[in-house]
Structure 1
């Protein structure tokens, strides 16, 4: 599934990419250094995805979906839990036993979050938003992902307006660090 289209198509494409990264990590033997590169790529994808959702998807959910505040709060809490695990994973070598434990915990948490969005939240969005609004939201999400941070920052704000103000600057610093270190380069 390629990127583009409305917000649901865009986020669903992200979900499939993340599932593929988990599968690639799990297919390699414990201790294989390629697992570190894949974990970095996974982290980058999850962080960009979460930031874009927090900047645009959840404010829309709060505004238009019945019970949207509670739904958005739950999804943001899920993101916070995942971000804490990603921060811990960042300090683990692939040979460390915690690495596999964290990958398993992450896959479970992310899988539950994805299922909740795809089986419940996306349907609620379709009911209350026009096709044009969903298309516009897709563009905003893609734009946010281009400037979003690529590393976990568990103590950073995750709700507007602070997240929209701080994420691009943090993202720029993260991308510079990635460029200098070679992190996230497929090779």
Structure 2
């Protein structure tokens, strides 16, 4: 994998690393307040990251690789749907609930497998087909998209453009309003 910071893959891998970091901060948090803040930060980043991938990366895989790309994208969408379902369950719970940490652990285990597959397969194939200019353009779109998408899990929302785009534009303002009343880490 290219270590060039101007590629879309570098941004996706950076997001993956942040998710791992937020999970570890949740695991090492000593108070309920701190756990809540890191769980919220994790949820916020995972929701934005997943939707940006679904809107930009998976269609690009389909465009560049045809049937093979569609198969890769469909596999990733299935894994995202499972993650959205688990994240939605977590959103309905308090971190003090005895089932919260085990469910979070299950979600992270599934995400680790998904992220590894993306980094070792999907992103390698994608970068091999993209010019550096195309990857940089996709990087900028990915970063912009994350600013406008929902920040909570909506597992019943469509997961493919253009329907996901419409659903996201409708859900995002309500999510951002909820976020105003949520606790986040001060150093994230």
TM-score, L = length of structure 1: 0.91
Runs of 4 or more consecutive aligned structure 1 residues displaced over 2 Å after TM superposition: 182-187
Ranges in structure 2 where 5+ consecutive residues have no aligned partner = none
2:38, 2:185 within 8 Å by CA — same for their partners in 1? no
SS of the equivalent of 1:65 reads helix
1:82·1:110 contact (CA, 8 Å) conserved in 2?
Answer: yes
Structure 1 gaps, min length 5: none
Determine the structure 2 residue equivalent to 1:34.
34
CA contact (8 A) 1:76 1:158 kept: yes
Distance (Å, rounded) in 1 between the aligned partners of 2:47 and 2:165: 14
For the aligned residue pairs, the C-alpha RMSD in angstroms reads: 1.6
Partner in structure 1 of residue 123 of structure 2: 122
Q: Which region of structure 1 is more displaced relative to structure 2, 64-73 or 111-120? A: 64-73
In 2, the alpha carbon distance for the partners of 1:24 and 1:63 equals 38
SS at match of 2:153: coil
Q: CA deviation at 1:185?
A: 5.8
Give the corresponding residue for 2:79.
78
Q: Which moved more, 1:125-134 or 1:38-47?
A: 125-134
Q: 1:148 maps to what in 2? A: 149
Say whether the 8 Å CA contact 1:44–1:184 is kept in structure 2. Answer: no
Deviation at 1:183, TM superposition (A): 4.0
Deviation at residue 177 of structure 1 after TM alignment: 2.2
Structure 1: how far apart are the matches of 2:38 and 2:146?
19
- Cα displacement string for residues 69-114 of structure 1 (whole angstroms, at most 9, x for unaligned residues): 0100011111110111111111222221211111110110110111
- Which deviates further from its counterpart, 131-140 or 31-40? 31-40
- 1:19-98 equivalence runs, <5 A: 19-29=20-30, 32-65=32-65, 67-98=68-99
Contact 1:52–1:141, Cα closer than 8 Å, also in 2: yes
Q: For 1:173 and 1:93, how far apart are their aligned partners in 2?
A: 20
